[in-house]
Amino acid sequence: MAERLVLRTPPPPRADGRFAPSPTGPLHLGNLRTALLSWLFARAAGARFLVRIEDLDVGRVRAEHYEGQLADLAALGLDWDGPVERQSEHTARHAEALARLRRAGLVYECWCTRAEIREAASAPHGAPPGGAYPGTCRELSAAERRAREASGRPPALRVRADAAEVAFTDRLRGPVGGVVDDFVVRRNDGAFAYNLATAVDDAAQGIGEVVRGDDLLDSTPRQLWLLGRLGVAAPAYAHVPLMYGPDGARLAKRHGAVILAERMALGESADEVRAALAASVGLSRPGETPTPATLVERVSALMNLELQHDHA
Ligand code: GLU
């Protein structure tokens, strides 16, 4: 069954888009559908489409997936502007953003392990819902701090967000609100954390609209809060539905042929895979294989329709 895309707000004018995969495995159909939609939104707006490789998690990144992911995008007919940026080449701007937050007194050190955070969360009144950090290391006494320093375990860095409430209008989900927890901006292995790196890079690259999977919806209030603290303009956001297997679980390897190479081994062409992805969101009818340009026209029509509603 196709889930129809309903745009709830007009597109920001000529908003540049991006796809920002982590090269930790081949892109599955859900990732490819997100990439297709991100590309379509940007192209329908007559804007640029950038690809950024999010490769900061060195423990999980595999070199062979850089090229494999790009080859899959190209095979589906998705083109991008300018060179592909790798996040690991831009750590200077992540460090600069972190330094600004520190100067503003918005950062503290945290020695908590995952197990400790879990434990605090299961204690009555221990942690706010949604896996938010309970704030254990926020206000340590001098003695508590010394004890943690003596452990030899390097600290992560968290922001002091004061449970700020952030609301925004997602272009597909409508009004969204969230409470920002004291999330990690630098991990205890020294790597800049996802929310910091992504928000800073979206701003630095002039991204006007972030189209991504709705598993990241909870991260968006955090990223908006960060951008606000850094005093830089935030992009618009459109969170697209994830794909699920027949058992209702998030699409994964065990669901069978879920990557492009596997679909092609079954005899499908890349055009047919693109058509199936488009059909799954109501942009194509079963049996037809619209070109990328035709899909761009359909999405522009959808956006114009939305504009007319807006002005009605
Ligand atoms: N790199 C993230 C991922 O592959 C996506 C980041 C984003 O789109 O904001 O899940």
Give per-residue pLDDT as tens, 45-55: 999 999 999 99
17-86+207-311 CATH pick, 3.40.50.11750, 3.90.1150.10, 3.40.50.620, 3.40.50.920:
3.40.50.620
How far is the centre of ligand 1, averaged over its atoms, from the C-alpha of 230 (Å)? 21
How far is the centre of ligand 1, averaged over its atoms, from the C-alpha of 151 (Å)? 33
Q: Residue 304: pLDDT band by 50, 70, 90 thresholds? A: confident
The minimum-distance atom of ligand 1 relative to the CA of 198 is 9
Mutate to test the pocket of ligand 1, among 86, 212, 237 (most ligand atoms within 8 A of CB): 212
In the chain, DSSP assigns E strands to 17-19, 49-53, 85-86, 107-110, 156-159, 165-170, 174-179, 184-186, 209-213, 236-240
Residue 87 Cβ contacting ligand 1 at under 6 Å = no
Average pLDDT, the chain: 92
Fold for the domain defined by 96-186: Glutamyl-tRNA Synthetase; domain 3 (3.90.800)
Mean pLDDT confidence for 232-237:
96
Q: Output 146 or 122, whichever has higher pLDDT.
A: 146
53-75 pLDDT, tens digit per residue, is 999 999 999 999 999 999 999 99
The minimum-distance atom of ligand 1 relative to the CA of 54 is 1
The minimum-distance atom of ligand 1 relative to the CA of 212 is 8
How far is the centre of ligand 1, averaged over its atoms, from the C-alpha of 9 (Å)? 23
* pLDDT on residue 310: 55
* pLDDT on residue 120: 74
Q: Please report, for the chain, the start and end positions of each structural domain, with discontinuous segments joined by +.
A: 17-86+207-311, 96-186
How far is the centre of ligand 1, averaged over its atoms, from the C-alpha of 143 (Å)? 39
Residue nearest to atom 6 of ligand 1 (CA): 20
The minimum-distance atom of ligand 1 relative to the CA of 223 is 9
How far is the centre of ligand 1, averaged over its atoms, from the C-alpha of 138 (Å)? 28
Residue 202 Cβ contacting ligand 1 at under 6 Å = no
Distances (CA, A) of 271 to 34, 74, 130, 290: 16, 11, 40, 8
Judge whether 192 and 98 are in contact, CB under 8 Å. yes
* pLDDT on residue 7: 83
Q: Residue 8: pLDDT band by 50, 70, 90 thresholds? A: confident
* pLDDT on residue 159: 98
Mean pLDDT confidence for 175-202:
96
Q: Residue 114: pLDDT band by 50, 70, 90 thresholds? A: confident
Long-range contacts of 294-298 (CB under 8 A, 24+ apart): 295/36, 295/40, 296/40, 296/43, 296/44, 297/44
Mean pLDDT confidence for 133-151:
94
* pLDDT on residue 131: 64
